Chain A
Amino acid sequence: MPNPLPLVALLLVQQPPSPAPAPQVPPPAPVIDVHAQHPARALFLANCAQCHGENGDGHGTTKLDRDPRNFQAGGFSYGNTPEAIARTITYGIPGSPMPSFEKALKDEQRKLLAEYVLLLGPEQPKTDPKDSVMLVTDKPVIVRGKLPPIVEGGPAFPRGLMIGTPEGLSFEYRVDDVRLLAVLKGEFADRADWRGRGGDALVPLGKAVFLPKETEESWIFARFGRIVRRQLRSTQVLGGRAHVVYDLVGSNERRIATVTETPSTFACTLGGGYARRFEIEPGVPDPQSAATSHKVSGALVELSARRGLPSPRKDLLVLEEITLPGVLWPAEVAEQKKLVATFEKESQR
């Protein structure tokens, strides 16, 4: 049997007829509602007011097992974003007296109602989209946050950090293994997690110009033997540079070395790229797996010597890696020599 007549259930409740006022009592002051002109006002009166009150103060005519929400106070079970409220109107809060209006109202009506309900409450702190944009001026800025996928369809990174440099490059790191994910060019980042309930991913504003391979710096660390994980120790903005400090952790949680990585913009006659300086303080060597001298270790650019920069401490190893468009360092020897020459020239300047 098909369902009987389709039911138009917009006007769900008939308000009980008001009793005639006693003659000697002045009539109650008219309810002033600055939002009376809102297109959802009638929907609100028809669907919500019997519990939440005509003004949304939580004092409707219906007696419930718990006080309904006072919209004027502004609290909601699942947050006060229009989307969360529209969803509650749609599905209700089973277990509580809040019913579902999925059948009774149309999608647009529920959205309008959510908007209206929010208007009844206290003014919301608004995050001007401009306010949440982080700018980099005279020194690098480091922010922690969730990072969106680097490539379309890829995973997001719930624990991430971004370094913005005054030169206009920014560096995205995955924190769990302190891995450089991407180098971007352009504006820095928008803290989208300042909106709504929070927890949204940062919005990098630059364009990714380099996507380093996961193994990019392995030629540096291979000399220390097997590294089980990397553990972030700190981030620093000191001396006009941003640093990421992390431990290389071997088996049995042994600290093999502590690395201070300093990413920066690198420009030379070959073009614009980025440099990563690794200041490595060896820790406890791994007796089990002797350090394997990496096959490319001969190509290491040991800057402390080449650039005549004294290592701050004797026990520090300072290395740098430069990446230029189309050229991954270390590359073929000839290219490498050319680069080193350029590099030296640059650093002398």
Chain B
Amino acid sequence: MFTSLLFVALPSAAQLPVANEADYTTVDYLVPPEHAEVEVGGMDFLPDGRLALSTRRGQVWIVDDPLAKDPKDAKFHLFAEGLQEGLGLHVVDGEICVVQRAELSRLRDTDHDGTCDTVETICNAWGVSGNYHEFAYGLPVDRDGNFYVSLNLGFTEPKWWHGRSLAPYRGWIVQISKTGALKPFAFGFRSPCGLGMDDEGQLLLTDNQGDWEPVCPLYVVKPNQFHGAPASLAWTPQYQETKTEPSLTNPPDMPRVAPALWMPYGWTRSAGDMRTIPRDGSFGPYGGQLALAELTNGLVLRADLERVRGESQGACLMLRQRVGSAIRVLFGKDGTLFTGLTNRGWGGLNPSSGVARVRWNGRMPFEIQHVHLLQDGFELTLTEPLASNAALDPANVLATQYHYDWWWEYGSPERGTRRLTTTSLAASADRRKLLVHFSDLAAGEVAKVKLSGLLSQSGQALLHEEFAYTVNQLPEGPLCDTPVARVVPPPPARESGAEGWLRVCYGDAFEMWKQSRWKLSDIELDASDATKFALKDGMGALTNQGLAPAEDYTSSFVFGDAKVHVECALPKGGATAVSVHGRYDILLADPGEEKTQSLRSLGAVLPGEHFAGSPPLLPAFKGPGQWHDLDFFFRAPRFDASGRKIANARFERVMVDDVLLQNQIELTEPVQGASGPESAEGPLVIRGGLGICAVGGIMVRPLDVPWPAEGWHALLAPDEIEGWKTIGAATWKNEDKLLTTGGKPGFLATERDDFANLELRARCKINDGGLANLWLRASIAEGAPPAGYAVRINASHPDPEKTGSIVGHAPRKVVLAPADTWFDLVVRCESAGEGTRVTVRMNGVVVNEWLDTAKPFAKGRIALEQHHEGSVLEVKDLAVREIP
């Protein structure tokens, strides 16, 4: 997965000449007037050859003689100002059109004094909510005179990482006719900074990597189709009609347009627009391909697209580096590549504003001119013949393939990177073409190919040795339906504080565990013998010190996907492992004198019989007696309906003290010595037999537990308490889908009194000192004690029965969820032959279960109880599902 490591392993090419971009292209910079910050957002030429520039400061500059030999001779004049950003400009019939944040405008100089006096509104019919991130980009014009504008999503507080469509057509490209009529054109974009049109009139667009965009893509835009960022779906007829809000975290189930290019992260992080390179050779041997602006890395890329199975895809290559924060590109009539620069607030290579001119000096570089996909490799056209066939060694080809995750988190690593097997590297008879064949080239992945050791007839080395080809499809065979950016389970939600966690040792260190022999004690390192702890009265830690025979500390609860937190201290030579399901172990051990990271280091993933294990990335042991915070994300193995394993378990990330030690470790098999088959759920195990250890603060946060929906009926209508009766003096407020208790003791009970077998769910929060009960099959009447099954909600009230207790029958002393923290509660109550079983789940984990063999309560009401004045229970999503 670390491609850079693979590259390092290449044979040295020290004997080859080094090709340098500056030997073929020169870069100079136009000189704006002093104090003018020309933060370019759009560029085009006026019919007389002057260059018009719109800027993020809402100015339009006109540059006389932009091709002047000395850049100082290209004079800037301020033509217009006062616009609301200008991130796209197009000259139409001699007049400058600019897309502002909130308006497409034509700028006119009606009194011919050389400055704009009239700003005509062509269209302002798209939404702006006021969010800072709602940039509008442009501005290609098609053969019929239609303009195209792309509309950024907003980033709002507090969850700024979710791009959101807060007003119509944010996340869309809109088409605007000459007369100003707006038509939503295509959707699924995030921060689509670069719009352009190729020679065939196809609309092109680059988006910026982030949520739902694993890296920067280049799309050939398809009208009325979804391109990948879901927030824009809000404005589709389907979502509008059904009043559906797009999920910010779950991928929508609909076809996506596959980008023609996914540009490697190392090359592009903020892509700008693109133009077709002149075919007349005035900008070198790349005619007909695309030049693409890249802001962060300050360079220009090249895209060589072709049609495969009717759709565009192709190769991305480096064109010119060290240009500046490039956002816009434009070719002059002599082949000069004008590059508009800006980086304010966004960040990119300097120069940070102004205009760079990149010119080819006429010297022919040795380049991969064209990349053509074959069924099992590539045909590469070179700009010059190879010097000889001597370098045609498959070892000179380093090729990998990889794909991406399509998810709501920021970007994606290259996933599943595998080295391709080069079966041959050959040249055509004239040595102008190279044929490279692989035994394992696949569709639905990007192929990154690097050639080394090649020399041209004139003795030059390749100027750019590497290309990345997005293989959506191979030329033949069945069509690939796996996109390069693949649907994956949503990554864990970003937690807010304690929400979603279960504190499985808090308040009672043993109740949720099978063992009771581990000692609860305060620990410190024994002053006379650092290989053990001095134990003192207290409840600071759990330790296995002195335990004979050794035993593991195994939870009685089970879970699947989860984030797990364990705090651990070790004496000199001490060790334990935190094991998920007793099958996948992370070592916590004093590495002793060991200097390199190995499977004996703290944070190592322990090996199985064939699984090699994984040493940590960094040393993390702070010393004997020191506490370490272990946090990791675990994904359980997946099984199909027949029980066959279809995906391995994974440690997504393992961190100690917030330092990443393991990333995306696929657990192809359980740890050595594990027993029993793998399963979707299992316990948490602290190993007791590896050495002395002390642990504490153990918490489990189940991930992506589906909130059941099918067959559930809301028990409370919005903003009313109809169908319920109140008993006692409690107050019940139902506003904004939130029920809040208050006042003196009392009950809120359903009018209906024949609920029997059911599941009841609610999202609950109780205040500090508060106490409440959720009643099932209840009989409640004024002046009579209530009867039925009661599930307790209590985080910090002195009553020993805490949240999850089945009152009077099955107490829970462990405080799984703290006060003032939302948790999900699902209670199941079902009578069968042996009795009535009450099961309590919190945050998706079964935390309590009790069988009432006496079966005194057959049916009754559902009720909430306010226990005392000052107690505040909040409830959301209260719903019931009756079990037939």
Which residues in A have some Cβ–Cβ distance to B below 8 Å? 1-5, 7, 9, 12-14, 16-17, 50, 61-67, 73-81, 87, 91, 93-97, 99-101, 103-104, 121-125, 127, 131, 134, 141-146, 156-159, 175-176, 191, 193-201, 231-238
Q: Give the residue of A74, A131, A144, A146 whose beta carbon is less than 8 angstroms from that of B35.
A: A131
**B627 with A67: CB separation less than 8 A:** no
Having A1-B506, A94-B410, A121-B347, one finds 7 other A-B pairs with CB under 8 Å, namely A1-B542, A4-B696, A7-B627, A50-B618, A67-B266, A95-B407, A99-B658
Known: A125-B39, A159-B102, A191-B58. A9 touches B84 (CB 8 A): no
**B124 with A175: CB separation less than 8 A:** yes
CA distance A65 to B118 in the complex (A): 52
**B130 with A156: CB separation less than 8 A:** yes
**Is B344 engaged at the interface, CB distance under 8 Å to the other chain?**
yes
Q: Give the residue of B100, B620, B629 whose beta carbon is less than 8 angstroms from that of A144.
A: B100
Q: Which residues of A contact B124 (CB under 8 A)?
A: 159, 175-176, 232
Q: Give the residue of A91, A157, A197, A231 whose beta carbon is less than 8 angstroms from that of B132.
A: A197
**Is B447 engaged at the interface, CB distance under 8 Å to the other chain?**
no
**B344 with A196: CB separation less than 8 A:** yes
Q: Give the residue of B37, B410, B595, B697 whose beta carbon is less than 8 angstroms from that of A95.
A: B410
**Is B660 engaged at the interface, CB distance under 8 Å to the other chain?**
yes
What DSSP secondary structure best describes chain B's contact surface? loop
**Is B689 engaged at the interface, CB distance under 8 Å to the other chain?**
no
**A125 with B297: CB separation less than 8 A:** no
Find the B residue at minimum CB distance from A141.
Answer: B82
CA distance A166 to B393 in the complex (A): 76
Find the A residue at minimum CB distance from B623.
Answer: A14
CA distance A157 to B102 in the complex (A): 11
13 contacts between A and B (CB under 8 A): A7-B567, A9-B658, A13-B618, A74-B343, A75-B295, A94-B410, A94-B491, A96-B409, A123-B350, A158-B128, A191-B57, A194-B57, A197-B346
Contacting residues of chain B (276-312) with chain A, CB-CB under 8 angstroms: 295-298
Q: Give the residue of B2, B345, B407, B412 whose beta carbon is less than 8 angstroms from that of A197.
A: B345
**B627 with A5: CB separation less than 8 A:** yes
**Is B675 engaged at the interface, CB distance under 8 Å to the other chain?**
no
Task: Render B338-381 as a binary contact track against A, CB cut-off 8 A, 1 for contact.
Answer: 00000111111110110000000000000000000000000000
**B409 with A2: CB separation less than 8 A:** no
Q: Which residues of B contact A65 (CB under 8 A)?
A: 1-2, 413-414, 663-664
Q: Give the residue of B103, B345, B507, B694 whose beta carbon is less than 8 angstroms from that of A198.
A: B345
Q: Give the residue of A14, A100, A195 whose beta carbon is less than 8 angstroms from that of B622.
A: A14
**A198 with B56: CB separation less than 8 A:** yes
Contacting residues of chain B (488-515) with chain A, CB-CB under 8 angstroms: 491-492, 494, 505-509
Q: Give the residue of A3, A78, A95, A238 whose beta carbon is less than 8 angstroms from that of B110.
A: A238
**B346 with A80: CB separation less than 8 A:** yes
Find the A residue at minimum CB distance from B597.
Answer: A16
A256 → chain B closest CB, angstroms: 17
Q: Which residues of B contact A101 (CB under 8 A)?
A: 658
Known: A1-B696, A2-B539, A99-B659. A62 touches B349 (CB 8 A): no
Find the B residue at minimum CB distance from A194.
Answer: B57
**A144 with B540: CB separation less than 8 A:** no
Known: A65-B1, A198-B345. A2 touches B121 (CB 8 A): no
Which residues in B have some Cβ–Cβ distance to A below 8 Å? 1-2, 4-5, 35, 37, 39, 56-58, 81-85, 100-103, 110-111, 117-121, 124, 128-135, 155, 160-161, 210, 265-266, 269-270, 295-298, 343-350, 352-353, 405, 407-414, 491-492, 494, 505-509, 520, 523, 539-542, 567, 569, 595, 617-620, 622, 627-629, 655, 657-660, 663-664, 694, 696-697
Q: Give the residue of B85, B111, B414, B492 whose beta carbon is less than 8 angstroms from that of A193.
A: B85
**B84 with A125: CB separation less than 8 A:** no
Known: A144-B100, A196-B345. A50 touches B540 (CB 8 A): no
Q: Which residues of A contact B56 (CB under 8 A)?
A: 194, 198
Q: Which residues of A contact B409 (CB under 8 A)?
A: 93-96
Find the B residue at minimum CB distance from A58.
Answer: B266
**B82 with A197: CB separation less than 8 A:** no
Q: Which residues of A contact B660 (CB under 8 A)?
A: 62, 64, 97, 99
Q: Which residues of B contact A191 (CB under 8 A)?
A: 57-58
Find the A residue at minimum CB distance from B296.
Answer: A75
Q: Which residues of A contact B1 (CB under 8 A)?
A: 65
**A3 with B697: CB separation less than 8 A:** yes
**A125 with B37: CB separation less than 8 A:** yes
CA distance A67 to B628 in the complex (A): 27
Find the A residue at minimum CB distance from B126.
Answer: A159
Q: Which residues of B contact A198 (CB under 8 A)?
A: 56, 85, 132, 135, 344-345
CA distance A336 to B692 in the complex (A): 96
Find the B residue at minimum CB distance from A145.
Answer: B84
CA distance A146 to B270 in the complex (A): 25
**A127 with B37: CB separation less than 8 A:** yes
CA distance A172 to B296 in the complex (A): 37
**B494 with A197: CB separation less than 8 A:** no
B3 → chain A closest CB, angstroms: 10
Find the A residue at minimum CB distance from B411.
Answer: A96
**B210 with A77: CB separation less than 8 A:** yes
Q: Which residues of A contact B129 (CB under 8 A)?
A: 158
A208 → chain B closest CB, angstroms: 20
Q: Which residues of B contact A79 (CB under 8 A)?
A: 345-347
Q: Which residues of A contact B83 (CB under 8 A)?
A: 143-144
B879 → chain A closest CB, angstroms: 30
Q: Which residues of A contact B352 (CB under 8 A)?
A: 122, 124-125
**A142 with B347: CB separation less than 8 A:** no
CA distance A175 to B125 in the complex (A): 11
**A1 with B507: CB separation less than 8 A:** yes
Question: Which 5 pairs across A and B sit closest by C-beta, in order of nearness?
Answer: A95-B409, A199-B132, A75-B296, A197-B345, A65-B413
Find the A residue at minimum CB distance from B508.
Answer: A1
CA distance A66 to B267 in the complex (A): 11
CA distance A91 to B410 in the complex (A): 12
**A95 with B491: CB separation less than 8 A:** yes
B325 → chain A closest CB, angstroms: 8
Find the A residue at minimum CB distance from B352.
Answer: A125
Find the B residue at minimum CB distance from A201.
Answer: B130
Q: Give the residue of B103, B155, B266, B659 whose beta carbon is less than 8 angstroms from that of A159.
A: B103
Q: Which residues of A contact B270 (CB under 8 A)?
A: 75
A117 → chain B closest CB, angstroms: 11
Q: Give the residue of A73, A81, A124, A175 whose beta carbon is less than 8 angstroms from that of B298.
A: A73
**A146 with B130: CB separation less than 8 A:** yes
**For B84, B298, B405, B414, which residue has the most chain A Cβ atoms within 10 angstroms?**
B84
CA distance A17 to B595 in the complex (A): 8
**For B130, B353, B694, which residue has the most chain A Cβ atoms within 10 angstroms?**
B130
**B657 with A3: CB separation less than 8 A:** no
Q: Give the residue of B132, B344, B346, B410 whose beta carbon is less than 8 angstroms from that of A96.
A: B410
Known: A1-B696, A3-B696. A64 touches B663 (CB 8 A): yes
CA distance A101 to B509 in the complex (A): 29
Find the A residue at minimum CB distance from B660.
Answer: A97
CA distance A157 to B352 in the complex (A): 30
Find the A residue at minimum CB distance from B569.
Answer: A4
**A95 with B349: CB separation less than 8 A:** no
**For A123, A191, A195, which residue has the most chain B Cβ atoms within 10 angstroms?**
A191
CA distance A131 to B135 in the complex (A): 22
CA distance A64 to B663 in the complex (A): 8
Find the B residue at minimum CB distance from A157.
Answer: B130
**B505 with A1: CB separation less than 8 A:** yes
**For A1, A12, A195, which residue has the most chain B Cβ atoms within 10 angstroms?**
A1
B499 → chain A closest CB, angstroms: 14
Q: Give the residue of A75, A91, A236 whose beta carbon is less than 8 angstroms from that of B494.
A: A91
B20 → chain A closest CB, angstroms: 20
CA distance A19 to B619 in the complex (A): 15
CA distance A232 to B122 in the complex (A): 9
CA distance A199 to B191 in the complex (A): 14
A192 → chain B closest CB, angstroms: 11
CA distance A125 to B349 in the complex (A): 12
Find the A residue at minimum CB distance from B55.
Answer: A194
CA distance A197 to B152 in the complex (A): 13
